[in-house]
Amino acid sequence: MNKKVFFLLLALLTAAVVIFLLPNDEKKIRRNLNLLADYCSSTSEDTAIAGLQKAAMAVKLCSDPCRVYIESFAITRDFNKKVLRDNLIMMKKMLPHTVFSFHDTVVELTETGRAVIVTTLSLSGKIADDRFTDAYELNIVATQTDGDWLFSAFTAVEFMEQ
Amino acid sequence: MEPAYQNGSFALCWRLQYLFSSPQRSDIVTVRFSGRSVMLLKRIVALPGDTVEFRLGHLYRNGMPVEEPYVRHRSPWNLTSRIVKPGHVYVVGDNRGTVMERHRFGQIPVERIVGGVLL
């Protein structure tokens, strides 16, 4: 193999590695979604301050205001950062040992600076020594603000109609 | 879906079950959310065009009470009569011991059904 071919292959390999490792928009959104799940989760080791910090970090991943639609809970409104954080803290108190995780996530970049995410939120934890699991399908809108992808709307998909 | 399926137990989803047939009443089916990693296990109690109603926890289909030997615990659910839409089936879990508001049931589009259950 002559030198030219070797360097050409090396350049191609380097370009492929850089493209693979550089976080593109979809990777950034997925990373933020995983962070959101971590910050919303509560473990028995979490202190009260840690809970507050995690709620604040979760809110940093959301836009101000952030729109929430959960028809079955009659929630359809915009939440500013403070109200969102207070609600998260309240939720953490109600669900002190609960792990949040997202599954089957599809991210679609619809236009410049906007993405629609379809995902399943799974909750598993304990309430008063009883184990529980629950799941919700969510449509989430993410918008790019100053380079960061922030979640600007959460809609629960209610596909089961009583 | 207790008592037919215990919480924490494993059930195998048979995705080919509805390849050549359509879902029937009493079938236990897996219902998907956004994908197939997380699914619900439910029983079909009514098909398109059927009416469904609960009176004191007892299921009525097309105005007639339905024998449900698989239900052990019943809470006094009351739900007025409704018609299952075309392209939908009505699904309910077997564990009816909880209050109606905490139980997830209702009509779902048939496309949400991933398959039946083996064993």
**Residue A124 sits at the chain B interface (C-beta within 8 Å):** no
Residue with the bigger pLDDT between A19 and B28: it is: B28
Q: Which residues pair with B29 in a beta bridge?
A: B42, B116
Does the pLDDT of residue A92 top 80, yes or no? yes
Task: Please tell me the least confidently modeled range out of A6-10, A34-38, B62-66.
Answer: A6-10
Minimal C-alpha gap between A34 and chain B (Å): 16
Q: What is the pLDDT of residues B43-102, one digit of tens each?
A: 999 999 999 999 999 999 999 999 999 998 899 999 999 999 999 999 999 999 989 988
The CA distance from A40 to A33, in Å, is 11
Query: Residue A138 CB: number of other CB atoms within 10 A?
Result: 21
Residue with the bigger pLDDT between B111 and A20: it is: B111
pLDDT at position A73 is: 85
What's the rounded mean pLDDT across residues B11-19? 86
What's the rounded mean pLDDT across residues A80-93? 94
The sign of the torsion formed by the CA atoms of A33, A37, A40, A45 equals negative
Beta-carbon separation of B7 and A103 below 8 A: no
Task: Please tell me the least confidently modeled range out of A10-19, A104-113, A118-127, B105-114.
Answer: A10-19
Contacts of A122 in chain B (CB under 8 A): 38
Chosen for mutation from B5, B6, B7, B33 (greatest number of chain A CBs closer than 10 Å) is B33
Beta-carbon separation of B34 and A122 below 8 A: no
Average pLDDT, chain A: 91
ipTM over 0.95: no
Does the pLDDT of residue B119 top 80, yes or no? no
Does the pLDDT of residue A105 top 90, yes or no? yes
Chosen for mutation from A33, A105, A120, A155 (greatest number of chain B CBs closer than 10 Å) is A120
Contacts of B84 in chain A (CB under 8 A): none
Residue A8, by phi and psi: left (phi above 0), alpha (psi -120 to 50) or beta?
Answer: alpha
Among candidates B38, B105, B106 on the partner chain, residue whose Cβ is nearest the Cβ of A122:
B38
Confidence of residue A39 (pLDDT cuts 50, 70, 90): very high
